[in-house]
Amino acid sequence: DVKVTQSSRYLVKRTGEKVFLECVQDMDHENMFWYRQDPGLGLRLIYFSYDVKMKEKGDIPEGYSVSREKKERFSLILESASTNQTSMYLCASKITGVNTEAFFGQGTRLTVV
Amino acid sequence: GQQLNQSPQSMFIQEGEDVSMNCTSSSIFNTWLWYKQDPGEGPVLLIALYKAGELTSNGRLTAQFGITRKDSFLNISASIPSDVGIYFCAGLNTDKLIFGTGTRLQVFP
């Protein structure tokens, strides 16, 4: 079974803190994604990584950065957390190509106070 | 950013009823995926479709890849209370996943 694991289920951080969200997958997938999910807005892509050290901005990259130093790990970084970044964050991975399936982690609910 | 048009937005049905939802796009996709999300959890893959016209079942779930490659449909037969959740479609035509806006399903006993 494919396993995508996010480091925390729930996180509470203070405004201005630097926040790291970690995602690890165990299936040697090339592609990894970070989404945020907010009520009424669906899943919005923050960043996408084609492969190690490769990244591409998604639809809402402002206020975020990412790191992909190893194939299995994709980190999302909130440089200076703000209250409008309170959200559910979802990581996904898949093998490269278009006839493939993507698998999600369990999600991290981040609250910035 | 691009999102797929998914309808209906929400459904309130009685246990035992059948459910239909669909997803449409202005773009062509090579793959359609359907996910279910329980409250507070990540989406779980239900069905994957790879060919135009393909009809695939997974238990009480049946999904179809539209002939035009611009739409997909999901049907749930004989709904049960544990079908409650949000259902998402997703399309792939490059390495990026594009998601629908979701259908929230409520099932009443």
Residues B4, B23: Cα–Cα separation, whole Å = 6
Residues B45, A28: Cα–Cα separation, whole Å = 18
Interface contact flag, A102 B45, Cβ < 8 Å:
yes
Angle B19-B21-B27 from CA coordinates, rounded to 5°: 165
Which of B42, B95, B96 is opposite residue A105, by nearest beta carbon? B42
Q: What is the pLDDT of residues A37-86, one digit of tens each?
A: 998 888 999 999 999 999 999 999 999 999 999 999 999 999 999 999 99
Amino acid at B45: L
User: What's the pLDDT at A41?
Assistant: 84
Residues A109, B42: Cα–Cα separation, whole Å = 11
> What secondary structure does DSSP assign to A51-70, as a single string?
STT--EE-S--TTEEEEEEE
Residue A22 CA, chain-centre distance (Å), reads 7
Confidence band, pLDDT 50/70/90 cuts, at residue A96: confident
Residues A110, B99: Cα–Cα separation, whole Å = 21
Interface contact flag, B97 A100, Cβ < 8 Å:
no
Residues A107, B50: Cα–Cα separation, whole Å = 27
The stretch A79-102 carries a mean pLDDT of 93
The stretch A3-29 carries a mean pLDDT of 96
Residue in A closest to B87 by C-alpha: A42
User: What's the pLDDT at A111?
Assistant: 98
Strands (DSSP E) along A1-113, which ranges? 4-6, 10-13, 19-25, 31-38, 42-49, 56-57, 64-70, 73-78, 87-94, 103-104, 108-112
Which of B41, B45, B50 is opposite residue A106, by nearest beta carbon? B41
Interface contact flag, B31 A99, Cβ < 8 Å:
yes
Taking chain B (109 residues) in runs of 10, the rounded mean pLDDT of each run is: 87 96 94 95 95 96 96 97 96 86 94
Which of A43, A98, A103 is opposite residue B99, by nearest beta carbon? A43
- The 8-class DSSP code of residue B4 comes to B
Which of B31, B42, B95 is opposite residue A104, by nearest beta carbon? B42
| The dihedral sign for the CA sequence B24, B25, B31, B32 | negative
Answer yes or no: are the C-beta atoms of A23 and A91 closer than 8 Å.
yes
User: From chain A, which residues contact B within 8 Å (Cβ)?
Assistant: 4, 6, 31, 33, 35, 42-45, 48, 50, 58-60, 90, 92, 94, 96-107, 109
Nearest to A76 by CA among A41, A27, A24: A24
The H or E element spanning position B49 is strand B44-49
Amino acid at B99: F
Answer yes or no: are the C-beta atoms of B97 and B30 closer than 8 Å.
no
